Amino acid sequence: MHSREPTAKGRPGRAPQLVVVGAARGRRLDHLPLRPPRFLRFTTHSIAPRPRSDSTPMAPTRRSETAPRRSSRVTDLEKAQQSAASKAASAAAAKAKKEAAALAREAAKASKQTKKAVNRNVVRPAAKKVAKAAGVDPKDNNKKAAPAPRKPPTDRSKPRAPAKKPAAAAPAKKTANKAAASANKADTKPSAGKTQVGGVVPDMTLRDEDDKEVSLKSLYDAAPLVIFSYPKADTPGCTTQACLYRDSVNEGAFAAVGYTVVGLSRDKPMAQNKWKTKHTLGYTLLSDPEGELLGQLGQTADKKRCHWVIEKGGKLLEAKHGVKPADDAKNALEFIKSLVTAKKDE
């Protein structure tokens, strides 16, 4: 009885074969990649590559033969050569620097010796000849001047007398202070050409807090005015001043004597409107950014807080410069009441 031979795993079957199955069946395996799968690697040598179109067989190549060399790598020999070259260059530069310094020292020394030789052989003989011709002995000029005699030492055992103060110093200081005070007073007064007390304020067109044009003449033709000025809207001192005028207006103090209150500053209408709304100021605020009316009424840089009392028709009755915020409204009202009382007495 015929029996089958055992296989490699001990089972009955065919004997193991060492050829590729595909090749055994007559198939072409040259279409496979150069690196076949792992189960076919042991038979790669038996697979012939596909011939090229020009029927020239393609020879097997290696990675080391076709791969380009890496130029960024520098061998130890090249590094040593570069280091030696840099050291030689630095040594040559240092040597050249030392030589240049030595040459500069020698040149300076030669120049100094040349100057000495010229002074000794040329300048001095020429000076002696000139002095001899002029009848002057050059040796007299070379002699040193005799030192000044020293003062005798002071006796510190004796008490010192008190130093007397100059009598004219104090009066001079007082006179200077008086002159400065008078100069300051003269600066605060309105200069010539501006409206003085008793004069008529000229008409000017300004803008109120609503950015509408307002004629000054239309205001003082309608009723007497109290115009107060302030440096800047919505600041502590100016707010105190404006709120005190507001309280007097709300109480009817100015209306009782027939006067209208108007605020005046260099602020823009928008800032005036915001300030008026914030503190509910019940009177007109005029904007004078160019300072035309303020300058006409005599406001100065150091006296920006003022008030003016203008009667009906535009006549200036009072001009107060450099007023205090807390007392301004009260003082203006008292002055107006005094005018009303004087008219009644007449």
Can you tell me which residue has the tokens 């109480």?
Answer: 251
Of all residues in the chain, what percent carry a pLDDT higher than 90? 42
Please tell me the distance from the alpha carbon of residue 229 to that of residue 226, in angstroms, as a whole number.
10
Whether residue 212 lies inside any domain: the answer is yes
Give the Cα separation of 39 and 320 in Å (integer).
Answer: 115
Record the pTM.
0.46
Of all residues in the chain, what percent carry a pLDDT higher than 70?
61
Q: What is the pLDDT of residue 51?
A: 55
**CB count, 10 Å around CB of 279?**
14
95 and 220 inside one domain: no
How many whole angstroms from its chain centre is CA 52?
Answer: 78
Average pLDDT over residues 128-155: 66
Residues 6+ apart with CB under 8 A from 39: none
Highest-scoring range by mean pLDDT, 10-24, 160-174, 238-252, 299-313:
238-252
- Same-domain check for residues 115 and 235: no
- The answer to whether the beta carbons of residues 244 and 273 sit under 8 Å apart is no
Handedness of CA 183, 184, 187, 188 (dihedral sign): negative
Q: Are residues 117 and 210 in the same domain?
A: no
CATH number at residue 319: 3.40.30.10
283 occurs within a structural domain: yes
Mark whether 116 and 213 lie in a shared domain.
Answer: no
User: In terms of domains, do 331 and 234 share one?
Assistant: yes
107 and 231, same domain (yes or no) = no
Note the pLDDT of residue 147. 63
Q: Judge contact between 230 and 265, C-beta under 8 A.
A: yes
- Are 213 and 310 contained in the same domain? yes
Positions annotated as catalytic residues are 238
- Backbone dihedral angles phi then psi of residue 145, each to the nearest 5 degrees: -70, 145
Is residue 277 within 8 A of residue 271, CB to CB? The reply is no
Q: What is the DSSP letter of 346?
A: -
**Structural domain includes residue 60:** no
Name the phi and psi angles at 225, rounded to 5.
-120, 150
User: Same domain, yes or no, for 238 and 339?
Assistant: yes
**Are 329 and 220 found together in one domain?**
yes
| CA proximity to 228, closest of 108, 325, 302, 301 | 325
Record the tokens describing residue 33, joined without a space. 């990649």
- 166 pLDDT tier (thresholds 50, 70, 90): low
Is residue 67 one of the residues assigned to a domain? no
239 within some domain: yes
| Residue 8 within a domain | no
Both 223 and 340 in a single domain? yes
> How many residues are there in the chain?
346
Matching residue, tokens 């440096």: 231
Domain assignment present for residue 259? The answer is yes
State pLDDT tens for residues 25-70.
555 555 555 566 666 655 545 555 555 555 555 555 555 555 555 4
Q: Residue 189: pLDDT above 90?
A: no
| CA-wise closest residue to 263 among 221, 225, 224, 211 | 225
Residue range of the domain that includes 114: 91-121
- Are residue 104 and residue 211 in the same domain, yes or no? no
Q: Report the chain's mean pLDDT, rounded to a whole number.
A: 76
Q: How many domains would you assign to the chain? A: 2
Per-residue CA distances from 26 to 15, 31, 86, 94, 121 (Å)? 20, 14, 69, 81, 120
Number of neighbours of residue 117 by Cβ within 10 angstroms: 10
C-beta of residue 51 within 8 angstroms of C-beta of residue 59:
no
Is residue 286 assigned to a domain? yes
Residue that finishes a domain, picked among 121, 143, 175: 121
How far CA 262 is from CA of 96, 145, 220, 282, 286, in Å, comes to 88, 84, 11, 10, 7
Q: Tell me the C-alpha to C-alpha distance, in Å, between residue 251 and each of 105, 235, 316.
A: 97, 24, 25
